[in-house]
Amino acid sequence: MTALSDRPPGATVGIPIEHEAAALHVTGEALYTDDLVPHTKNVLHAWPVQAPHAHALVTRLETAPAYDVPGVVRVLTAADVPGHNEAGVKGDEPLFPSEVMFWGHAICWVLAETLEAARLGAAAVVVDYEPLPSVITLAEAIEQGSFQGGQPTITRGDVEAGLAASAHVFSGELELAGQEHFYLETHCSLAQVGDDGSLFVQSSTQHPSETQEIVAEVLGIHSHQVVVQCLRMGGGFGGKEMQPHGFAAIAALGARLTGRPVRLRLNRTQDITMSGKRHGFHAQWRVGFDPDGMLQALDVTLTSDGGWSLDLSEPVMARALCHVDNAYWIPHVRANGRIAKTHKTSQTAFRGFGGPQGMLVIEDILGRCAPLLGLDPADLRSRNLYRDGHTTPYGQPVRHAERLSRTWEQVRADSDFAARTAAIEAFNAEHEHVKRGLAITPVKFGIAFNFTAFNQAGALVHVYKDGSVLINHGGTEMGQGLHTKMLQVAATTLGVPLAKVRLAPTRTDKVPNTSATAASSGADLNGGAIKNACEQILDRLRPVAAKVTGVPEAEVRFVDGVVAGVSWDEIVRLAYFDRIQLWAAGYFRTSGLHWDSSTMTGEPFKYFAYGVAAAEVEVDGFTGAYRTRRVDIVHDVGDSLSPLVDLGQIEGAFVQGVGWLTLEDLRWDDGDGESRGRLATQAASTYKLPSFSEMPEVFNVSLLRNAAEDGAVYGSKAVGEPPLMLAFSVREALRQAAAAFGPRGVSVALASPATPEAVFWALDAARAGRDASPPEGYPGDVPEQPEGPPLRPRSERAQHELEDLDA
């Protein structure tokens, strides 16, 4: 093990402790950005003027009527911007637009003494529009050639030759939906101006340094005049990586112009209609297998729905392409990517960052093709898993591939997979109208930012004269437990009790130039930086301790705050009087990374996180309704820094993945009426989220043992994103249950999300023994039902056309 990975005896890391703010969360005492408003005097409230068109020119903007509303103080427009009228980093997101690019686009903002006055003021603003043609669906964008950004390709081998030599070749397409973040805390910023004109911005942001940069750009000042602090977030999931910047800039601009604090907090409907979501994708593919069912070639084109601007769509597509193989060896690969430009919210980062979309494509392919190959889906997946010596399509060796096989076999054993498969076959044979399915799926997910420069972090560690320790790092806390892990890392490195260490909120004037807390790399990067800072302090204390205790300097090590009978506090006190520096700035950069975005080759990831899940579902043949009976998960987190936190992350990510794949159904109006482009699912009443009723009745989660990761802090691995894709097992189990309604060997197409409606159409097609394309007139006029209300037509659903080309 390297020095970074080596874990000392008696370490605080690895102990299952509760989240550092758990008590504050459950008692309601935890402070979030908006909780600071009652403690701030003379706060103004911001409210947007939102456009009722998907695409239009603003031909008239009259703000004077707003000032007739009592309490209105200022209306912010593009004319007020002293710097750049830009909310993004690509130059394609004007803060105050003259061209409406999606339904709900904010044209200007009203500031008032109360939120109600701001709302009424916004309603009084007069805006005239010239409607323009709009592109709403991915199908429309592809048909019209509406694309933006780069169009990268990953290639390996000779795809055409591989397909030509394959014994079986299939083709098809899949459309998969996006997902709303639905964090509990909506976007929020509170900006205050200092007596020197500087700005202090409290923001619910995953990327304080970039929020700082955008605020400074909008105001036309330097970054050192802006301080951004993130106390904590009530959830982020990627939705607060890029999207908070514009909202913070609005608050900061208002504070600068009025000299008063400005609060901007979106309500739920505003947040859903104004902020980006997970990218929806369309995939068109051809795949080849040899006579034994081994993958030979894959030719796939991925098209993502980027919305109205690029945001993070390009790196999202890059990661999707890098994960289209998931956990499978494919000798010949050609994966093309392109980003559609539509008149919808600018889609953004979401847990997995394109990886889930890419991985879902190959899982869908295997699920569709297994019965056509006469193979059990679990067997087809197992025989195609990566082995030692394999490399990814972009050229990175698959390290520790044996852990993938070990995890697979552990899940099969722990879940009693073989016996339950036989029991389910017997159950299905005896029950005509209720069927069960049991599926097992793997995950291989690369950890690091694809953009190499982002793989760095800083930390600041203070040791006070009384021996107490204060740490500050560049990562942000959004409930994922990063701060808990960082406290454990600091206590372990210094060798002091956990109670000695406190963590301060993330601020750009403490640690500058930070990367976003994203890409599942928060603990790797910031943990490395904290460890580095603590080691600097220890190196200064060792001579002092050696002098006092007689222990050779190289052997000085504190255990529970003591070395050779002398306390940490005493050594710190003596060091102060010896004029020894008791604070340090730490730094860490991930080693061994290289990536050429022009050729889409290299080794962009530090390591791969592995996981396997087996899920059992039961489906009602009359309605398509289903329940998840049991889930077994084994996940590789290396040598866990904080096992209780990691278990919570695995469970939460899995359930969020199940929501994306089976429940959460974003619906935009794609008709030709006045509401074209309007998001219809604007609240929890119309957008279904996972709840207790969707939880597995039996939920077993284990961490892979003996899996320490060399080259990562204390041998741990990332846990934030990879477990989300374990939910593929539920979708594949639904496919198998639907297939059980039909003859043996039927191939089932399944929409994404696989709502009960979609499952019903799939099992209905299986009963008829046909490929599960939608019935005639769907999604258009839905066939009349013999009884009960008609089913809703879907405007965005999976479309599959599968054929065995050698038949």
Catalytic site residues? 721
Longest dimension (CA), the chain: 90
Between vectors from CA 369 to CA 367 and to CA 374, what angle results, nearest 5°? 110
Angle at which helices 568-577 and 522-549 cross, to 10°: 80
Strands 566-567 and 698-703: unpaired
Q: In the numeric block, which tokens belong to residue 624?
A: 């398509």
Residues 798/750, Cβ–Cβ less than 8 Å:
yes
Q: In what order do the strands lie in the sheet with 126-131?
A: 99-100, 56-62, 126-131
Judged on CB neighbours under 10 Å (0-12, 13-18, 19+), 492 is buried
Beta-carbon contacts of 556 under 8 Å, excluding residues fewer than 6 positions away, are 541, 542, 545, 546, 549, 563
Residues 450/322, Cβ–Cβ less than 8 Å:
yes
Instruction: Report the 3 state secondary structure along 723-774.
Output: HHHHHHHHHHHHHHHHHCCCCCCCCCCCCECCCHHHHHHHHHHHHCCCCCCC
Kindly list the distances between the CA atom of residue 473 and the CA atoms of 227, 241, 483, 502, 626, in Å, as whole numbers in the listed order.
Answer: 15, 17, 9, 12, 45
Mapping DSSP to helix (H, G, I), strand (E, B) and coil, where does residue 538 land? helix
Residues 314/150, Cβ–Cβ less than 8 Å:
yes
Nearest to 444 by CA among 483, 487, 396: 396
Across 63-187, where does the E strand assignment appear? 72-76, 99-100, 106-112, 126-131, 147-148, 153-156, 168-176
Across 245-358, where does the E strand assignment appear? 262-265, 281-289, 295-305, 332-340
Alpha helices (H) along 158-274: 159-165, 208-219, 244-258, 268-274
Strands 698-703 and 626-635: parallel
Judged on CB neighbours under 10 Å (0-12, 13-18, 19+), 692 is exposed
Strands 126-131 and 106-112: unpaired
Beta-carbon contacts of 672 under 8 Å, excluding residues fewer than 6 positions away, are none
Alpha helices (H) along 550-585: 568-577
Q: In the numeric block, which tokens belong to residue 620?
A: 């009602």
Beta-carbon contacts of 565 under 8 Å, excluding residues fewer than 6 positions away, are 549
Q: How far apart are CA 527 and CA 458, in angstroms?
A: 9
Q: How far apart are CA 241 and CA 211, in angstroms?
A: 9
The type of residue at 355 is G
